[in-house]
Amino acid sequence: MILIPDAVFDDDHALEQKAAAPLKLVVRRAAQADEIPDEECQTAEAVIGYHRLAYDAALCRRLTRCRILVRAGVGSDNVDLAAFAARGIPVCNVPDYGIAEVADHTIALLLALARGIVEFHRGIAADPVRGWDWRRWPPPVRRLKGQLLLLIGFGTIGRAVARRAQALDLAVGYYDPLVPRDAANATGIRAYDDLDAALGEADIVSLHAMLTPASRNLIDRRRIAAMKAGAILLNTARGGLVDLDALAEGLQSGRIGAAGLDVLPAEPPDPAHLLFAALRQDAPWLRGRLVVTPHAAFLSADAIADMRRQAVETAVAYLRDGSLRHCVNREQLKL
């Protein structure tokens, strides 16, 4: 039996049922682990997890027959990888869905800021006559051709962003200690070994890294101080990569020219936080310099269907013949 404890979709899960066949699929929409019946925990051979539950050591112990946990999505920061590894349970994710969508969204955030799209639209919506004035252009508006885009993380999404950026005549570099230096040599993309040095050169910084204990608050006060003055920061990866207080200070001081965010450390955000209070009040210091979307970069009907199907297919493949794809706790399992 395959168990989805914390499903987030309200349909009949026919797509997952088809992918799981002939195995039985049980779907729950639990918000707390204690809402899952013990019988289902003790019967499930595979678990497809979303983001509503913490897949911690306590829940792991309840999954007595579980052979694999698949996180239906990219991030696995709500899973205690070591706890599952200690019981010999591989944890896998679904990293190869929505790649085009996230890459498109990243470039869309950049263009919205660099062309003043949101601020111009707001001005015209408020007053079509007075707002029809290109001289109201916000500070981030700039020529993109020739500017340096630094990608922090050069996996499939980072590379998709690089291809789109090159089509816009941006210079592209990347920092990713896990990727060989020659990974992009043929395409004219520069590899950086020193993140601080790279930040000091980049006009635009775009995050495409996984969230781990080592990468949490990767962009903090020290790193913001290392950034080129007026740089644009984009984050369509994981919210915890950025210290939101430091970002607010960086925007307020002008050290950061603008930011485009699809993910936040806490979602939804605290309305009282400096950044969102200023956004809501249309504070002059932030006007036209921040675009935020609600963790929607991955979004399309096709991408969601891919994610749901692939999560189940990953579990079924392992149960059927031990095929293991996209395992994120492989090092702890010592495979």
293 token code pair: 């979307």
Q: What are phi and psi of 48, to 5 degrees?
A: -105, 110
Contacts 24+ apart (CB under 8 A), 145-148: 145/169, 145/170, 146/170, 146/171, 147/171, 147/203, 147/204, 148/172, 148/173, 148/201, 148/202, 148/203, 148/204
Q: What are phi and psi of 29, to 5 degrees?
A: -125, 50
Given the residues 35, 130, 222, 267, select the one marked as catalytic: 267
Q: What are phi and psi of 76, to 5 degrees?
A: -125, 25
Please report the sign of the dihedral spanned by the C-alpha atoms of residue 315, residue 317, residue 320, residue 324: negative
Q: Any catalytic annotation for residue 238?
A: yes
107 token code pair: 């470039």
Given the residues 164, 223, 238, 289, select the one marked as catalytic: 238
Distance CA 117, CA 111 (A): 8
**Of 309, 299, 317, the residue nearest 15 (C-alpha):** 309
Given the residues 221, 295, 325, 326, select the one marked as catalytic: 295
Q: Any catalytic annotation for residue 45?
A: no
Number of Cα atoms under 13 Å in the Cβ half of residue 263 = 24
Q: Which are the catalytic amino acids?
A: 238, 267, 295
